[in-house]
């Protein structure tokens, strides 16, 4: 009977160790996925907020001046910074959408006041929706 008890104890110990390893590996992967998703969400939100800020500044200017409004350069720089974070975390489809939006934001700044700028802002709005769709796909939403 003593040998049977020893084998049962060993079996229980091995089962416990195996369960611990599997739980640690699965839990670690889950935590990593959650971290990546949170980091992506933060980067997408910051990127899009900077895009909105940039557009709002030019929209508020409403053709009064050819020069960029105060704060526009900083908003564009924030978009570039967040794009760097996205390059580390996101897929190629997302990056292409974000890069296209960033280029168009630059186009807003370079467009003359009036109809050209309004058209550039309209294109930014379309591209922002494209970024949101790509972000949702990336995050499985």
| Per-residue model confidence (pLDDT) at position 41 | 92
| Per-residue model confidence (pLDDT) at position 68 | 82
d(CA 111, CA 121): 10
| Per-residue model confidence (pLDDT) at position 123 | 97
d(CA 103, CA 54): 12
| Per-residue model confidence (pLDDT) at position 37 | 85
d(CA 124, CA 132): 12
Q: Which residues of the chain have pLDDT under 50?
A: none
CATH of the domain spanning 34-138: 1.20.120
| Per-residue model confidence (pLDDT) at position 82 | 95
| Per-residue model confidence (pLDDT) at position 135 | 92
| Per-residue model confidence (pLDDT) at position 76 | 96
| Per-residue model confidence (pLDDT) at position 73 | 93
Q: Is 67 exposed, middle or buried (0-12, 13-18, 19+ CB in 10 A)?
A: exposed
DSSP per-residue string spanning 92-104 = HHHHHHHHHHHHH
């Amino acid at each position: 009977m003593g040998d049977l008890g020893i084998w049962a104890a060993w079996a229980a110990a091995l089962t416990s160790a195996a369960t611990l390893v599997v739980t640690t590996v699965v839990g670690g992967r889950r935590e990593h996925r959650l971290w990546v998703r949170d980091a992506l969400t933060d980067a997408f939100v910051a990127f899009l907020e900077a895009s909105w800020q940039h557009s709002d500044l030019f929209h508020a200017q409403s053709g009064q001046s050819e020069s960029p409004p105060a704060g526009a350069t900083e908003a564009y720089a924030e978009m570039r910074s967040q794009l760097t974070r996205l390059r580390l975390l996101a897929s190629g489809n997302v990056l292409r959408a974000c890069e296209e939006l960033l280029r168009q934001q630059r186009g807003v700044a370079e467009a003359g006041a009036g109809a050209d700028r309004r058209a550039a802002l309209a294109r930014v709005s379309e591209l922002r929706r494209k970024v949101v769709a790509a972000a949702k796909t990336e995050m499985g939403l």
